[in-house]
């Protein structure tokens, strides 16, 4: 029997959607993909279930170096 992670990766490959894999917890693999207007994070757990987070935006420029350095300092702003 195939694991959900491999099924997901096969579907993304077939759709020619680029993704990256990360390991941030011992029982999950994070699959991150960027689509037009949104970034999607899919946590695939060892038991096969998935949790999905979507981050939507218009991809417009919201700042420059000052914003980046402020974010690093923890000055998130709204």
* pLDDT 10s digits, 35-67: 988 999 999 999 999 999 999 988 788 899 999
Q: How many domains does the chain have?
A: 1
Q: Could you give the C-alpha distances from 31 to 12, 24, 28, 69, 72, in angstroms and in order?
A: 10, 11, 10, 27, 24
> Is residue 9, in this structure, part of any structural domain at all?
yes
Q: Tell me the pTM.
A: 0.79
In a domain, 26, yes or no: yes
| 78 occurs within a structural domain | no
Measured between alpha carbons, how far is 75 from 19 in angstroms, rounded to an integer?
29
Q: Is residue 77 in a domain?
A: no
- Flag the least confident range among 10-14, 20-24, 62-66, 73-77: 73-77
d(CA 44, CA 50) in angstroms, rounded, equals 5
Q: Does residue 43 belong to any structural domain of this protein?
A: yes
Is there a domain that residue 17 lies in?
yes
Q: Which domain holds residue 66?
A: 4-72
**Which residue, among 24, 54, 23, 22, has the nearest Cα to 38 in the 3D structure?**
54
């Amino acid at each position: 029997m195939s694991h959900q992670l491999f099924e997901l990766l096969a579907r993304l490959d077939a759709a020619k959607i680029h993704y990256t894999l990360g390991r941030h917890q011992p029982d999950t693999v994070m699959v991150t993909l960027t689509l037009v207007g949104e970034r999607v994070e899919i946590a695939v757990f060892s038991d096969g279930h998935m949790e999905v987070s979507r981050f939507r935006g218009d991809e417009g420029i919201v700042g420059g170096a000052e914003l980046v350095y402020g974010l690093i300092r923890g000055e998130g702003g709204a």
